[in-house]
Amino acid sequence: MKFELLSRDASARRGRLHLGHGIVETPTFMPVGTSATVKTLTPEELRSARTQILLANTYHLWLRPGRDVIVDAGGLHRFMAWDGPILTDSGGFQVFSLRERRKLDDDGVTFRSHLDGSEHRFTPESVVAFEEALGVDVAMVLDVCVRLPAEADELEAAVTLTTRWAQRAAAARTREATALFGITQGGLDERLRERSARDITALQFDGYAIGGLSVGETREEMERAARFCAELLPPERPRYLMGVGTVRDLIAAIDCGIDMFDCVYPTRCGRNGRAMTRAGEFHIRNAAYVRDFGPLDQACGCSVCQTFTRAYLAHLFRSNEMLGPRLLSYHNVFMLNRLMEDARNAIERGDWSRFREGITQRAFPAAPENLASREHPIT
Amino acid sequence: MKFELLSRDASARRGRLHLGHGIVETPTFMPVGTSATVKTLTPEELRSARTQILLANTYHLWLRPGRDVIVDAGGLHRFMAWDGPILTDSGGFQVFSLRERRKLDDDGVTFRSHLDGSEHRFTPESVVAFEEALGVDVAMVLDVCVRLPAEADELEAAVTLTTRWAQRAAAARTREATALFGITQGGLDERLRERSARDITALQFDGYAIGGLSVGETREEMERAARFCAELLPPERPRYLMGVGTVRDLIAAIDCGIDMFDCVYPTRCGRNGRAMTRAGEFHIRNAAYVRDFGPLDQACGCSVCQTFTRAYLAHLFRSNEMLGPRLLSYHNVFMLNRLMEDARNAIERGDWSRFREGITQRAFPAAPENLASREHPIT
């Protein structure tokens, strides 16, 4: 793996990531393909929606279809027929959200499947081995993620264990073609964030994620923490803010100097009838759209906006037709990917601050609670 | 509308239908786009799956989104972004399946919506006006459809009223670009079928459908009736057998001299995990496919069979991922459209009987009851 930092504009960065299955221009958004599928979309559509890299979930794939099926298929890329780069999360976030169903010890975490109650165990070593067996381009180390707000001692223990596990994950690595990223923790506690960043970056990972955000704190707290954390990370390595995916949050995080993002938000919104645009979000089931024969988003050039009207999409959602979630998921993913392209161009041009202000000055209605990005980590 | 009868091989016919939105080579299968969408598929995919003409349902579109929305959109083609030919059924079949919710009189039928209980009324005139307003290429007249087995007097009354309504529909026609097809009824009663065919063909419709089959009779009864009915229809007009869509039934019906077919079967199977091939059907959720890394159908060249494995499709269905129904619906529609192409070529070559035998000699497990094509006419 190689990362080039091509240009900067204030803290915003324009970079290029060379991975086994291709090049990723940063800043980049990674659509989430939890169970080896970005819900409703084909790999071909993801490409045409300008997707560069996907995220897949270790927790879900471990349980179903399981390691052997994917390995026998020739790896995750061939299994899901996506030949571009893939990053897998470590399953840490999902497992720690299981609360009643998991038991943490110093060596790892034992949990029961949300599908059938069967018992499984993640250790830093078993997770790296799983990700390498899948043949992904970027593997994340197993971390201990704490939901906010949290007690100081709980946060501190999570930071300590996350570092110890990161050391073991780094030592367990066997496959050069799979880059390994460390994850920093520490909640909103700057002293802990400093310690975590120092300890994790000492391990010389290929890239660094900021974990433990977008887990219950306010937007302002998240932005402040993301900025604080980004500055603690080495500039020559890619920086990844996990679980971020609204237009406003992405722009704010790029402004903090972050390069990579993932979130179920655009596809979950798509399935629920929520259209994303740079000028805000709206719900396509609203009565206003039943006779609106304009495109979903006047400013978008995606094939959905070129082909179908709001009235037709409203009809599909009101009729519970699967084509509705499909088309809206496509649009939302395309829209975020184009936003990232334009952000990259603005940084290159030295025009980032004007670009950022042009977007964040518009009214962005907050996402409804039930779509909040990290509220449903498992299903 | 123009229909050319290009060649015959025994009773099987190879024809060409010239419609407002394009040419349809016959025999042809029409995928069903009940609510202005062939479930899970885009118009672009329908084209690439070699679909020539779609069927849409008057009953469903009348209720939602309703005539005005479609007219304001510029017609059904523009509303759903399908620029090829469309045939609409008359809603008769759906309304008569409502049993407790409809009241028949000599002038028409009053029914309550399965969506919200609101009251609506179909007359031969109102249905033709609706179909013409939608701008479809082929409109079906309102008929009285009887579920089999049925009493002789009920069947006879249905035939009598169907003829009277057909006369009124023919008189109500105002738009030349929308061809109008008559529907013959009579159940399995040959005397009634003869009377119905004589009365309906006397009205000089652009084409003729055989209605009232595939509604509860055995496969053998249906084949016998279809053959008997087809021979009563004028050879110079297209013949349409409503509600037929399994491989075996399509081949049998082409052998009877029928030119057009529609059925929800391939898309309903697709959503339920049932893969159709010329050599039979199978359920992709079966344990046998979890580690089967071959294509869905070795003999199929569709993009799904070229791209994805049975193991991946099995995973999608086991994970309740929407991509599964999408991919399998696509394959099933493609497979039937290719079957029709090959049937046309076989008739042209004078090789129909060998082609037919090659397909029907294979083992075709019957479809499970809950997927039977006409068991769920409304939802």
User: B126 at the A interface (CB within 8 A)?
Assistant: no
Best of A45, A134, A323, A327 to mutate (most B CBs within 10 Å, chain B):
A323
User: Chain A residue closest to B304 (CA)?
Assistant: A42
* Predicted pLDDT of residue B368: 52
| Active-site annotation holder among B89, B137, B143, B199 | B89
CA angle A181-A183-A189, nearest 5°?
160
Q: Is A82 on the interface with B (CB under 8 A)?
A: no
User: What pLDDT, on the 0 to 100 scale, is given for residue A215?
Assistant: 85
ipTM of this complex prediction, to 2 decimal places: 0.96
Whether residue B322 and residue A321 make contact (CB cut-off 8 A), yes or no, is no
Collapsing DSSP states into helix, strand and coil, what is residue B250? helix
d(CA A59, CA A63): 7
Cis before A149? omega within 30? yes
Find the residue in A nearest to B60 (Cα): A319
Yes or no, beta carbons of A326 and B321 under 8 Å apart: no
DSSP SS3 for B269: helix
CA distances to B154, B199, B353 from B161, rounded to whole Å, are 11, 11, 38
pLDDT tens digit string along B180-224?
Answer: 999 999 999 999 999 999 999 999 999 999 999 988 889 999 999
- Whether A41 and chain B come into contact, CB under 8 Å, resolves to yes
Report pLDDT digits (tens) over B132-147: 999 999 999 999 998 8
Pairing between β-strand A28-31 and β-strand A22-26 as defined by DSSP bridges: unpaired
Q: How do the domains of chain A map onto residue ranges?
A: 2-264, 271-360
- Contact across the interface for B319 and A64, Cβ inside 8 Å: yes
Considering only CB atoms, A69 lies closest to which of B72, B73, B290, namely: B290
Chain B contact for A69, CB < 8 A?
A: yes
From B311, B347, B316, select the one nearest B329 (Cα to Cα): B316
Q: What is the pLDDT along chain A (379 residues), one digit of tens a residue?
A: 999 999 999 999 999 999 999 999 999 999 999 999 999 999 999 999 999 999 999 999 999 999 999 999 999 999 999 999 999 999 999 998 888 899 999 999 999 999 999 999 999 999 999 999 999 999 999 999 988 889 999 999 999 999 999 999 999 999 999 999 999 999 999 999 999 999 999 999 999 999 999 888 899 999 999 999 999 999 999 999 999 999 999 999 999 999 999 999 999 999 999 999 998 999 999 999 999 999 999 999 999 999 999 999 999 999 999 999 999 999 999 999 999 999 999 999 999 999 999 998 875 655 554 454 454 556 5
Give B-chain residues touching A74 at CB under 8 angstroms: 293
The beta-carbon neighbor of A79 closest among B312, B318, B325 is: B312
pLDDT mean over B162-174: 98
The DSSP code for B142 is P
Tell whether A321 is within 8 A of chain B (Cβ). yes
pTM over 0.80: yes
B262 catalytic per annotation: yes
Could you say which of B64, B74, B312 has the minimum Cβ distance to residue A319? B64
CA distances from A100 to A57, A95, A215, A374 (A): 20, 10, 18, 18
Using DSSP bridges, classify how beta strands B12-19 and B2-9 pair: parallel, antiparallel or unpaired: antiparallel
Which tokens in the block code for residue B37? 């969408």
Mean pLDDT value of segment B20-43: 98
The Cα-based distances of B232 to B21, B229, B250, B346 in angstroms read 29, 5, 19, 24
**Alpha-carbon distances, residue A292 vs A308, B72, B79, B133 (angstroms):** 11, 10, 11, 19
User: What's residue A366's pLDDT?
Assistant: 52
- Confidence class for position B372, pLDDT limits 50, 70, 90: very low
CATH of domain B2-264: 3.20.20.105
Q: Do A35 and B309 touch (CB under 8 A)?
A: no
Cβ contact A64–B40 (<8 Å):
no
Say whether B73 and A323 touch across the interface (CB within 8 A): no
Of B69, B290, B326, the CB nearest to A65: B290
User: Is the Cβ pair B39, A325 closer than 8 Å?
Assistant: no
The partner residue sitting opposite B315, judged by closest CB among A65, A290, A315, is A65
